[in-house]
Chain A
């Protein structure tokens, strides 16, 4: 069964960095929303929450960067489909990494819980 799903796994690897981006997105949105709604954070004392969010964002950004690196370092394929898939995977991973990095911009510009 495992060998059957290996090709499908390669297809899933194509979107790995975008999955990391989506976790970063949902994580930032969820933690911010929960902290504000529960009263744990407030605009009057924004730094604890802001630091949590920045660490979360940095962690996810590093993770997506490492993912790009991992995909880049995967061995070159001898076959045309393998070559195409590797190229596409690295490119999509780079897009995911940039998207994750871009997501953090508001953390430095907008007030929390306001």
Chain B
């Protein structure tokens, strides 16, 4: 932030405004590009990187098809094949699909909502670096011949130390967790942005349908990823320190891994599908000239879909011996989820039938999507029926089904979206000839490769076998699939060539070439760094349709925040329901802190991978220092009144507002954290109830000292934070800082009390899953006590240096939330840790 006081805005011409805003929002050239935090730049990086990984995944697919083209092929060894198919799935799911969605949302969300950027631009940049570094770890391992080889879902015990003694599985657990950090960051970012960072007048019912889709997707990411992060951490602890969470001989259970994985894994399918469906719901009205039929029904359907998809996780576990009635619950949910999906499909068909479709390349991909996804959906209903699933489980039928769902539900819509938004990204329009050829090759190649694969599976060919005998009768079908696979690859190569030639040589196009009504087309293309000269006050879902002169008016500054001032990057924050302007959010400019923080995080992960644990501790300290410095310059050092925002209105600056985006960021972070903790509680109880060799041979020693220490720390910490808040609100900054120090001390006491449990009273973590679980829960509690102490110390330092006042007090709101969470999680942890010892 270049100035700490609101300056006087100078009237500008449209060109003058463009230059002034571009100076403010632009990314520095050369090495300075590493400091970019602008959502357009970071979004483009995400998208391009994800497509590079997609090409790598595609090459791996070609290796698989080459190997399976004929019987008894020795093109790849069994070991190499295991790495190739594991990496194909891992790359496509974790390094392509999810990040491509993140990139699309990063780039599009602010533009769709008439905003200038996302809520937390530095978090976006940090997420990108985590993604790049995490993905690079996996690819480097592949090049070194040490890639993961236990399948993309890493089932234990195959991925456990005895059966996977090398570094391969560690690479997956470390690399994928690193990438997942990026996904959780993105989820928090998107949740907050949609809730608060919209343009004026954009009430919930006026949000573009794509925004609803991305919002539900973000919520699913927020709740879906933590169980997998937990599972990955537990498995890595088992592999690194022999803590037997998944070893049945010592009270663990391989099924626990499956539960944690699929708690993420099945919602993941919908996390991938929903943005694709959002693209379809966006382009269909444009190319049919008909408003989307059933907007409200679609909103209801996708909320239902987002929720119910979490009740399907065990439908991947029908063959694991779970009791039939339990399977039937999952089967019921699996069949139920078809209905909200069908609501969307019928809404699309109704839109199609009531309009006059223009057959563009995007629409061709829409037709491709519709036919392919419906086939995948129907075979999904087949495998949702338990007896059929037992027949088809782990065969190539499932491979065919999942490719129909993922290609149909994600890749085709993304290709439709690429051709729809290509003029937005490049400012150039494509010629359809090459693209249509590519479409034909992709459709023919895909269906010829994967339709026969259903039959291959029904004939009994299992997944993941590196070769097969000629007498099995699978050779012709496999040969057809392989030849068609290469046709599919040529189709994708043509798409890449087409996009490059459009970006390089395409004819420049006018703004809004498709005649769309949504705000992303109300800006110059390619979009400037600041997106929009001023932010509109909208009164419908299609503002450009209502007022074709709106883009010019916004460029003239006739909206909100049209006059740059004080060197601030400003964007509006609104009431979450009505969309009425509430605050002016001051966003940070380019900084290297996200990169440094990601490097420190990378050091933490890589040192753990190579078992350099002292270095991991150093890396953790570096992360804390980086985050501290990152946060330090946010906010204002003096109180400020409301500022003019245009259209005759005023609004407070966000550091002086009651609920700045930071607060919502904290709330969503704690929600993700709560899901992580909930999954941990589930895992602990699951082992007690289901795993063999329970109850454990030895329980925690029955002693009152450590729980009382933790309880005292919780009570002191909570009360001192409330007292600090009250003192600050009354202008007694000195008293407030004293209470903050007490709060920091209480956090440290909780950390110490929690760590005393595994140190003095618990059975060794390697002896039994109980000891491992107790140690992990204690560590979780200690870590949160430590963070509470650091947050209190941070607030103390901010208060001392004048960043906090009675008016500017978001640090206190965030700290109170953290302590509330810690109190709840602490009490549950104490019950889990000490309850069994006292009750038996």
Contacts and interface: CB of A to CB of B under 8 A. Distances in A.
A36 B327 CA distance: 13
A10 B577 contact: yes
A101 to B, nearest CB: 10
B336 A79 contact: no
Nearest to A3: B658
A-side interface size class:
35 or more
A36 B300 CA distance: 37
A44 interface: no
A18 B306 CA distance: 10
A113 B205 CA distance: 47
A99 B312 CA distance: 13
Contact of B340 (A29, A95, A106, A113): A95
Interface in A35-70: 36-38
Contacts of A8: 195, 576
Contact of B300 (A1, A25, A88, A99): A88
Nearest to B663: A4
A40 to B, nearest CB: 11
B: interface residue count bin? 35 or more
Contacts of B195: 8
A84 B310 contact: no
B308 A99 contact: yes
Given A25-B329, A102-B336, A114 B323 contact: yes
B802 to A, nearest CB: 24
Contacts of B690: 33, 37
Nearest to A89: B300
B307 A105 contact: no
A47 B575 CA distance: 53
A25 B323 CA distance: 15
Interface string A1-12: 100100110110
A87 to B, nearest CB: 6
B323 A112 contact: yes
Contacts of A111: 324-325
Nearest to B691: A37
A72 B233 CA distance: 45
Interface string A76-98: 00011110110110011001100
B299 to A, nearest CB: 6
Interface in B572-595: 575-579
A92 B304 contact: yes
Nearest to B343: A95
B435 interface: no
B472 interface: no
Given A28-B329, A81-B579, A18 B303 contact: yes
A84 B303 CA distance: 14
A25 to B, nearest CB: 5
B328 interface: yes
B311 interface: yes
B689 A25 contact: no
B204 interface: yes
Contacts of B203: 80-81, 84
A63 to B, nearest CB: 16
B577 A18 contact: no
Contacts of A95: 300, 304, 340
Contacts of A109: 328
Contacts of A7: 575-577
A81 B311 CA distance: 30
B331 interface: yes
B331 A106 contact: yes
A81 B310 contact: no
B340 A103 contact: no
A25 B296 contact: no
A80 B538 CA distance: 13
Contacts of A84: 203-205, 296
A92 B303 contact: yes
B333 A25 contact: yes
B329 A103 contact: yes
A29 B325 CA distance: 8
Given A1-B813, A22-B310, A87-B296, 14 more contacts: A4-B658, A18-B303, A21-B307, A21-B311, A22-B311, A32-B326, A33-B323, A37-B689, A80-B205, A88-B299, A88-B303, A95-B300, A106-B332, A114-B324
Instruction: List the 10 closest pairs (A to B, CB-CB), nearest first.
Output: A106-B328, A84-B205, A81-B203, A18-B307, A91-B300, A95-B304, A110-B328, A110-B325, A4-B659, A7-B577
20 contacts: A1-B658, A4-B658, A11-B576, A21-B308, A29-B326, A29-B329, A33-B326, A38-B689, A85-B205, A87-B296, A88-B303, A92-B304, A95-B304, A99-B333, A99-B336, A106-B325, A106-B332, A111-B325, A113-B323, A114-B325
